Amino acid sequence: MRSGQHNYNIALFASMIAHLGEEKAEEWMKGLKANLARKPSGNDRAQAQAIYAGECDLGIGNTYYVGLMINNEKEPEQKDWAASMKVLFPNSEDRGTHVNISGMAMAKHAPNRDNALELMRFLGSAEAQSIYAETNYEYPVLPGATVSETVQSFGKIKPDSLPLAEIAKNRKAASEMVDRVGLDDGPAS
Ligand SMILES: [Fe+2]
């Protein structure tokens, strides 16, 4: 996995705290550390590369990178990384899989409010949602917007419906837990 302090993992760990409570989540994180094949490092794609290289059996990452690797004409070796693995959706039978979001917000004193609002409305439209879904292999937030064929090939996702505010609320506790557990120190040997 990449660093436990990266935003992606902090959000994931915050969701674990929200669902399990701090004590159980910490127990889980200790288990995660014990199962590490190596010290957390690299980005999401580096985890797929590690599976390709036989360094580990499982990695943690966002699915959109799998789409970006599968269709990477510029660096075709990434296609091999993607081909060596398959996407699994944790907790599918239970509360659903943790989902990270791409979001937007307008600053209170934005100087070009009307144009900004127009852009935000466009980005939420069926047209822009489909373009974004096809270009970056993310799940469109707009119901009914087209999901890319690559993403469909991963199978069905059941997203965790935990409110984002719960994740935001638990971010600090998650970050402190990563340090307390020593997750980024890697597996104990
Ligand atoms: Fe990313």
pLDDT at 37 (0 to 100):
97
Q: Return the sign of the alpha-carbon dihedral for residues 131, 137, 141, 144.
A: positive
Instruction: Please enumerate in sequence order all residues whose Cβ is within 8 A of that of 161, keeping only pairs 6 or more positions apart, or say none.
Output: 95, 96
In sequence order, the β-bridge partners of residue 159 are 97
Query: Considering the entire predicted model, what is its pTM?
Result: 0.93
pLDDT at 189 (0 to 100):
57
CATH number at residue 171: 3.40.190.10
Same domain, 126 and 52: no
Q: What is the C-alpha to C-alpha distance for residues 31 and 72, in angstroms, rounded to an integer?
A: 34
How far away, in angstroms, is 65 Cα from ligand 1 center? 7
Structural domain span for residue 111: 102-156
Q: What is the C-alpha to C-alpha distance for residues 136 and 65, in angstroms, rounded to an integer?
A: 8
How far away, in angstroms, is 27 Cα from ligand 1 center? 27
For residue 184, the 8-state DSSP code is G
Same domain, 85 and 8: yes
How far away, in angstroms, is 189 Cα from ligand 1 center? 31
Structural domains in the chain (count): 2
If we measure between CA atoms, which residue out of 32, 28, 16 comes closest to residue 94? 16
Q: What is the C-alpha to C-alpha distance for residues 4 and 79, in angstroms, rounded to an integer?
A: 26
Same domain, 37 and 117: no
**Residue type at 168 in one-letter notation:** A
Q: What is the C-alpha to C-alpha distance for residues 155 and 166, in angstroms, rounded to an integer?
A: 27
Same domain, 93 and 110: no
pLDDT at 25 (0 to 100):
98
Intervals of the chain under pLDDT 50: none
